[in-house]
Amino acid sequence: MRPKKFSLQTVLDLRVKAREKAEDALAAAIRDRDIAAARCAEAIAHLEELTRMITGERFAAYVREQGWNAINAQRDLLRTLEARLLQAEKKVSAQREILISADRDQKLVEKLKEKWTTAQDLEFARDEEKQLEDFVTAARFLQSATT
């Protein structure tokens, strides 16, 4: 008897690939978020350094004005980087939801396959039992015919 093929195997294969793709996308989103967080940290450190430098020493008026302009530019950069970090956080959340959905879909088809496999094993056992009963019946018939 030739073993039967699970009819949803192609669907299962596609769902496994979709889950792997979602895992990769989540990993990429996390890397992007970590890079954005590191850039924010660098910008904050640079802003603190500029602020400490300008407020701590006596400079000529034009140098002090340039320093404040640099501080304002750094604050603007920091706002931009924080906005990018927020977008990266949202992307991580969205990718996490996609991964959860893909995982749920894959597990659903895997459960169907487990049920199908159990049913196939049961059918195989029944067929085997039927063949044994036929063999025993034939053996008894032959034995009663010879006696």
Q: Give how many domains the chain has, as a whole number.
A: 1
Which pLDDT score is estimated for 63? 72
Q: Do the Cβ atoms of 12 and 109 come closer than 8 Å?
A: yes
Determine, yes or no, domain membership for 121.
Answer: no
Determine, yes or no, domain membership for 137.
Answer: no
CA 8 centroid distance within chain? 22
Which pLDDT score is estimated for 104? 97
- pLDDT tens readout for residues 31-66: 999 999 999 999 999 999 888 887 776 666 667 788
Determine, yes or no, domain membership for 101.
Answer: yes
User: Average model confidence (pLDDT) for the chain?
Assistant: 90
Which pLDDT score is estimated for 145? 74
Tell me the pLDDT band of 110, cut-offs 50, 70 and 90: very high
Q: For residue 5, what are its two tokens?
A: 């093929």
Q: Which of 10-14, 60-64, 80-84, 130-134 is least confident?
A: 60-64
Determine, yes or no, domain membership for 140.
Answer: no
Phi and psi torsions of 143, nearest 5°:
-65, -40
Which pLDDT score is estimated for 139? 82
Angle (nearest 5°) at CA 39 between 35 and 42: 140
Which pLDDT score is estimated for 137? 87
Determine, yes or no, domain membership for 83.
Answer: yes
pLDDT over 70, % of the chain: 94
Determine, yes or no, domain membership for 122.
Answer: no
Determine, yes or no, domain membership for 131.
Answer: no
Tell me how far apart the alpha carbons of residues 80 and 77 are, in angstroms, rounded to a whole number: 5
Determine, yes or no, domain membership for 129.
Answer: no
Instruction: Print the domain residue range for 35.
Output: 10-107
